[in-house]
Amino acid sequence: WGTERGSGFHELLGALAEAAPPTRIRISSVELRFLDDRLLEAMASAPALFCRHLHVPLQSGSDRLLEAMNRRYTAAEFLARIRRAREALGSVGLTTDVIVGFPGEGEDDFRRTLEVCAEAGFHRIHAFSFSPREGTPAADLGGTVGGDVKRERIARLAELARDNLEKFVSSELKGPLEVVFEGEEEPAPRREGYSSEYLRVRSGTVPVPGSRLVRVRSWSLEGPGLVVRAPLEGPAYHS
């Protein structure tokens, strides 16, 4: 954003922090080259406005495959920026994209991807099975990875993400969660929404209002997300 005018995404975030009404803004996806200190400082300057979540596409933890994908970073550089994000933002939910079965991806390449995802602590990993697109350089590469291997690797990534989720919930979630539940404002049970950290939250039998911020003071991890035990209603504003 703004590169044609010599400005950057961090400046947009700064303007939003000054002008936006009380609300909640989630940055859906940030390529590593844009995840610089200026962006992190803009987010940290307005913690009530920006969600404590970053989605940073990794694609692969193998430097060899990153080069083949024309990704202009190494695994070490990627992890360094993730560490910097944690330093700047504190307890932050991290999610990513991974391409599984890129041509020539061997077990060592995939093992490195698992290692990077584990170290980064991604609690949700969007794993995409590689499929060639006509006219792209990757379509002409050899070393096709079989479908069974792709499915097995996707399952291993899902298992790792679950492990990371459990660690994140048990060690990093402190104090009330800020959740916006879907639905009408009138309180009702069995609603779903997302916390600031991009954790799926179900209200269970606890009535909660929808379309506004709710602070949840007690929860438990069940299945793919959190279940509310006792909500504490927060500021009445629309998300």
Q: Please report the pLDDT score of residue 238 as a whole number.
A: 40
Q: Please report the pLDDT score of residue 48 as a whole number.
A: 87
Residue 79 CB coordination number (10 Å): 17
Q: List the structure tokens of 207.
A: 């009535």
pLDDT by residue, tens only, the chain of 239 residues: 455 555 677 788 878 777 766 678 898 899 999 999 999 999 999 888 899 999 999 999 999 999 999 999 999 999 999 999 999 999 999 999 999 999 999 999 999 999 999 999 999 999 999 988 877 777 778 788 999 999 999 999 999 999 999 999 999 988 789 999 999 989 999 999 999 999 999 999 999 999 888 999 899 999 889 999 887 766 544 43
Region label for 122, one of left (φ > 0), alpha (ψ between -120 and 50) or beta (otherwise): beta
Report in angstroms the alpha-carbon separations of 60 from 18, 36, 129, 239: 37, 20, 12, 34
Query: What gap in Å lies between CA 64 and CA 75, rounded to an integer?
Result: 10
Report in angstroms the alpha-carbon separations of 81 from 58, 84, 126: 12, 5, 20
Q: Please report the pLDDT score of residue 22 as a whole number.
A: 66
CB-count exposure of residue 153 (10 Å: 0-12, 13-18, 19+)? buried
Query: What gap in Å lies between CA 194 and CA 53, rounded to an integer?
Result: 11
Q: Please report the pLDDT score of residue 236 as a whole number.
A: 44
Give the torsion sign (CA, 229, 167, 197, 57).
Answer: negative
Q: List the structure tokens of 149.
A: 């291997």
Q: Please report the pLDDT score of residue 137 as a whole number.
A: 78
Query: What gap in Å lies between CA 157 and CA 124, rounded to an integer?
Result: 9
Q: Please report the pLDDT score of residue 16 as a whole number.
A: 79
Tell me if 23 sits within 8 A of 237, measured CB to CB: yes
H or E element in which residue 39 lies = helix 37-45
Q: List the structure tokens of 26.
A: 């989630």
Q: Please report the pLDDT score of residue 237 as a whole number.
A: 41
Which residue, among 43, 40, 34, 46, has the nearest Cα to 7 in the 3D structure? 34
Q: Please report the pLDDT score of residue 151 as a whole number.
A: 98
Token look-up 């070393």 returns: 143
Q: Please report the pLDDT score of residue 146 as a whole number.
A: 94
Number of H helices, E strands in the chain: 6, 8
